[in-house]
Amino acid sequence: MLTFRTALASPLFVYAQSPIHSNVLSTQLRSAQPNRAGTIEFKSSYTQASIWAHTGTYSLDYYQNQSTMDFNNAGVHVSDFESDDLTNALTFYNELLLYSRGPMSLSAGGSLFYNNVKNGLFARTSFEQGIQLNYSYITPRHSIFSTLGLVHRNSDGSSVRDENLSPENLSTSWAIGYEYRLNQQHSLVIESLNYQGWASNDPDFSETSNEVVVGYRYRLYRLAVETLIVENIRNMDNSTDIGFTLGLRFSI
């Protein structure tokens, strides 16, 4: 028999992996159900992704350890930026529970994002803000999560510096996830993460970024280990080709 205490559900701990959204503030799929009073949770994850996209306007082909970026028609060519920081950010998130009854919970959250890359090809400073509405329906065996988000971004905070691109100052996002618990230790999770296009005047960057996440979670008391795959769907030139993430959670 599963219990909420031993099988507390939550979405996978993963961030947007599309080329631009992964380097700015992007809302994350979150559970609206609050943790028990006094609980402190530590979460950490490592992601390695392959980015490949090619259109008549630009080409992207880079990995975490070796990267090449080429914006042909825009007159921008960036390559050999191995070990350069794309983003060095601190994010603050606070959440308010609006409603909770039985398996259903509704919450609202706000994020503050400060990014400061001091040197290198991607040196920049940006301050961004986001709000989101989270809904959860959690039972001992099945869980559903959903999030609607809105982010205000700095127009000068882009990792792609090009006068021909007009960034969106306001960007929406939506996500939904489902977790099926096989038993107290093992869970399978699938999620759909969707982000509004980053630029308003580019045929590819203005398209929605759509990512599907498939993952496995192993729980042992207050420890949880997650492995997952992030795969791009629909627009092949506005998101990661594929990404792999290993995550760790620990609560006290």
User: What is the per-residue pLDDT for 76?
Assistant: 43
Q: Is the pLDDT of residue 120 over 80?
A: no
Overall residue count recorded for the chain in this entry: 252
Q: Is the pLDDT of residue 181 over 90?
A: yes
Written out in words, the top-level CATH class of the domain with range 21-251 is mainly beta
Could you tell me which residues are beta bridge partners of residue 115? 89, 126
Confidence of residue 205 (pLDDT cuts 50, 70, 90): low
Q: Which one has a higher pLDDT value, 248 or 217?
A: 217
Q: CB-based contacts of 163: which residues, under 8 Å, 6+ apart? A: none
User: What is the per-residue pLDDT for 117?
Assistant: 79
Residue type, 104: M
User: What is the per-residue pLDDT for 74?
Assistant: 42
Q: CB-based contacts of 211: which residues, under 8 Å, 6+ apart? A: 16, 17, 18, 192, 193, 194, 230, 231, 232, 233, 239, 240
Over the stretch 38-60, which tens digit does the pLDDT of each residue have?
A: 777 788 888 777 766 555 555 56
Over the stretch 46-101, which tens digit does the pLDDT of each residue have?
A: 877 776 655 555 556 555 433 333 333 444 444 444 555 667 778 899 999 999 99
Q: Where are the domains of the chain?
A: 21-251
Over the stretch 125-162, which tens digit does the pLDDT of each residue have?
A: 889 999 999 999 999 999 999 999 999 987 554 555 55
Average pLDDT rounded to a whole number, residues 21-47 = 82
User: What is the per-residue pLDDT for 1?
Assistant: 46
Over the stretch 207-239, which tens digit does the pLDDT of each residue have?
A: 788 999 999 999 998 899 999 998 888 776 666
Confidence of residue 179 (pLDDT cuts 50, 70, 90): very high
